[in-house]
Amino acid sequence: MNTPLSALSPTGTPLYQQVKQALLSALAAGEWKQGEAIPPEKPLAERFGVSIGTLRKAIDDLTAENILVRHQGRGTFVAKHEHNQHFFRFFRIVRQDGEKSYPTTELLRFRRISAGEEAREKLLLAPGSKVFEITNRLSLHGSPVLIDTLTLPEALFSGMTEKLVRERPSTLYRFYQDSFGINVIGTAENARATLADEDHADLLGVPAGTALLELRRVAYSYNQQPVEWRISRVNTEQYEYMGQEHNRS
Amino acid sequence: MNTPLSALSPTGTPLYQQVKQALLSALAAGEWKQGEAIPPEKPLAERFGVSIGTLRKAIDDLTAENILVRHQGRGTFVAKHEHNQHFFRFFRIVRQDGEKSYPTTELLRFRRISAGEEAREKLLLAPGSKVFEITNRLSLHGSPVLIDTLTLPEALFSGMTEKLVRERPSTLYRFYQDSFGINVIGTAENARATLADEDHADLLGVPAGTALLELRRVAYSYNQQPVEWRISRVNTEQYEYMGQEHNRS
DNA sequence: TTACATTTGTTCGTATGTATA
DNA sequence: TTATACATACGAACAAATGTA
């Protein structure tokens, strides 16, 4: 039996937040692993010396933060951050009728170069820093729809090779996580319209001068660390970029 | 005294969600205006015939959605969506160096027409419904940058005239609020790339065939009620669309 | 299929603490 | 100081979902 929390931290912070911290500590200590169930509410409440309601409020917070997942009748589980769904959270190109599908990727080019000025600015790199530049073609429903040009700091992705990229068994962001320990947790994205140059027109199978949507994205890891700078050029004849909905109720 | 909710809707959806909907209905009916306090928890709980805890859970949801704001010791207030900051929350065009500025607007056209198919779909209107169609030109730093085509259901904006639009002293969304009691609390936005037609080229002062960013937006009020359907065509030679940042922590 | 035990979900009412006017 | 209002905490009861015997 553990010491009641309130005895350790008499006042100041609410009890349910102390419980939340205690749960986070237990998680960090590896007491329960990803995908595993944590103990039922009643035993946990007893362990921490609080009422069920207080324990539930702590768990409410943790589920809101996607750290725990509750399933009525089954239990409360440690969230897994490895679902494909999660990795596709940042892919926002859909058909104009709204139908979503998963893209297939072709690696077109892999280079190790000195970072250009814009890449250095976006990735907070010093002049002369080396980066990997990767060009991919993504297709939806069998037709090429967008060309991605990725820039990755060599410092963060040391050991990266074309072979690794080509043979990765999963999505790119999953690959970052599994092979380099880099978790993409957010992106900042801007959009412009451009005309397709010869190269892009060829790659997308459209005439030069076609209007393309140009998305410029920085992907961030913890602590706002930029880890990827990406320019996507999208043929929006049949597809469109689905913006995040703002504050709907 | 109102009828208890549970009597109207015996089972199925949880009580606290019924309370939440009832609160949203009261808000939509204008029972409390933005910035005003709603009644204290206890009277509200009695009015809906539920316990304080259930009422609080409903309000928890609404505060999480930024529809209500709680202040300990003062009360619970209808969130204000009337700060300039907020109104410009939905204006996301910035100069490519990142500098933001406020646009100036010119009214180019005002019409009352039958809603087209796409507008009907987006605004959930019956065939034959009348709408107001308003075309604006927005300029930044003195140069025209985008053409907005707005479609508004006549049913929601009855009494709308060109004169009112032209002489409104405030932003458009503020105008909706003050003159028609319509609160825009969210938007869903998609993006495509198009080529400028003759009209848009003239209005924006660019050659026909220039690539334009086309933003298609539905604005929502409470209960996902669509209130405005808008197509913006943006000259992104010097400006760009600043997407919402996704989930950074 | 049925019955049952387990676990989370919802709702209740009460008491006490804390912030505000 | 006092009254009001939201915040926290408690525990009990029943509902709903799940898995298993």
Answer whether residue A74 shows pLDDT above 50: yes
Residue pointed to by tokens 């926002």: A92
Among chain A residues, the shortest Cα distance to B214 is held by A193
> DSSP assignment of B73-124, as one string?
TTEEEEPP--SHHHHGGG--EEETTS---PPEEEEEEEEEEEPPHHHHHHHT
For chain B, the domain total comes to 2
Q: Is B146 on the interface with A (CB under 8 A)?
A: no
- What ranges in A29-95 are assigned the alpha helix state H? 41-48, 52-64, 84-87
Q: Is residue A216 part of a domain?
A: yes
Q: Is residue B56 part of a domain?
A: yes
Q: What pLDDT does residue B84 have?
A: 45
A11 touches strand C (CB under 7 A): yes
pLDDT tens sequence across A30-69:
788 777 889 999 989 988 989 898 999 999 888 887 788 8
Distance from C-alpha of B186 to C-alpha of B222, rounded to nearest angstrom: 9
Could you tell me the two tokens for A229? 């700078």
Q: Is residue B32 part of a domain?
A: yes
User: What separation in angstroms does the CA of A136 have from each of A59, A119, A181, B153?
Assistant: 41, 17, 22, 44
Angle at which helix A52-64 crosses helix A15-28, to 10 degrees, equals: 60
Q: Which domain CATH number covers A13?
A: 1.10.10.10
Asked whether residue B90 falls in the same domain as residue B202, the answer is yes
pLDDT tens sequence across A183-221:
776 788 999 999 999 999 999 999 999 999 999 999 987
Answer whether residue A5 shows pLDDT above 60: no
Q: Is residue A249 part of a domain?
A: no
Residue B182 DSSP label: -
Asked whether residue A236 falls in the same domain as residue A152, the answer is yes
Asked whether residue A19 falls in the same domain as residue A61, the answer is yes
Coil, helix or strand at residue A133 = strand
Asked whether residue A119 falls in the same domain as residue A225, the answer is yes
A8 touches strand D (CB under 7 A): no
- B90 contact residues in A (CB cutoff 8 A): 246
Q: Which of A78, A103, A137 is the last residue of a domain?
A: A78
Could you tell me the two tokens for B153? 């259901």
Residue type, A235: N
Range B194-223 average pLDDT:
95
Asked whether residue A100 falls in the same domain as residue A74, the answer is no
Kindly report the bases of strand C lying within 7 A of a protein C-beta atom.
6-15, 17-21
Q: Which of B78, B105, B130 is the last residue of a domain?
A: B78
Asked whether residue B33 falls in the same domain as residue B147, the answer is no
Q: Which domain CATH number covers A100?
A: 3.40.1410.10
- A90 contact residues in B (CB cutoff 8 A): 246
Distance from C-alpha of A179 to C-alpha of A173, rounded to nearest angstrom: 10
CB contact under 8 Å between B243 and A190, yes or no, is: yes
Answer whether residue A226 shows pLDDT above 80: yes
Maximum mean pLDDT: which of A166-180, B95-109, B151-165: B151-165
User: Which residue segment(s) compose the domain that B91 sits in?
Assistant: 83-241
Asked whether residue B128 falls in the same domain as residue B97, the answer is yes
B14 touches strand C (CB under 7 A): yes
CB contact under 8 Å between B192 and A241, yes or no, is: yes
Asked whether residue A87 falls in the same domain as residue A154, the answer is yes
Q: Which of B32, B60, B78 is the last residue of a domain?
A: B78
Q: Is residue B248 part of a domain?
A: no
Q: Angle at CA B171, nearest 5°, toward B188 and B83?
A: 80
Residue with smallest Cα–C1' gap to C12: B51
Asked whether residue A38 falls in the same domain as residue A96, the answer is no
Q: Is residue A247 part of a domain?
A: no
Q: Is residue B178 part of a domain?
A: yes
Asked whether residue B127 falls in the same domain as residue B56, the answer is no
Q: What are the backbone dihedrals phi and psi of residue A209, each rounded to the nearest 5 degrees, phi first? A: 90, -5
Return chain A residues 27..86 having CB < 7 Å to nucleic acid strand C: 37-38, 40-42, 53, 56, 70-76
User: Are B35 and B73 within 8 A, CB to CB?
Assistant: no
Distance from C-alpha of A118 to C-alpha of B43, rounded to nearest angstrom: 58
pLDDT tens sequence across A122-146:
999 999 999 999 999 999 999 999 9
Answer whether residue A17 shows pLDDT above 80: yes
The percent of chain A in helix, strand and coil, each rounded to the nearest 5, is 30, 35, 35
User: What separation in angstroms does the CA of B214 have from each of A237, B211, B229, B233?
Assistant: 12, 9, 13, 5
Residue with smallest Cα–C1' gap to D4: B73
pTM of the model: 0.77
B73 touches strand D (CB under 7 A): yes
Identify which of B190, B224, B241 has the shortest CB distance to residue A190.
B241
Residue with smallest Cα–C1' gap to C8: A72
Answer whether residue B141 shows pLDDT above 70: yes
Q: What pLDDT does residue A87 have?
A: 55
Q: Is residue A68 part of a domain?
A: yes
Asked whether residue A40 falls in the same domain as residue A155, the answer is no
Asked whether residue B199 falls in the same domain as residue B95, the answer is yes
Q: Is B88 on the interface with A (CB under 8 A)?
A: no
CB contact under 8 Å between A249 and B193, yes or no, is: no
Q: What pLDDT does residue A1 have?
A: 38
Residues 6+ apart with CB under 8 A from B37: B74, B75, B76, B77, B78
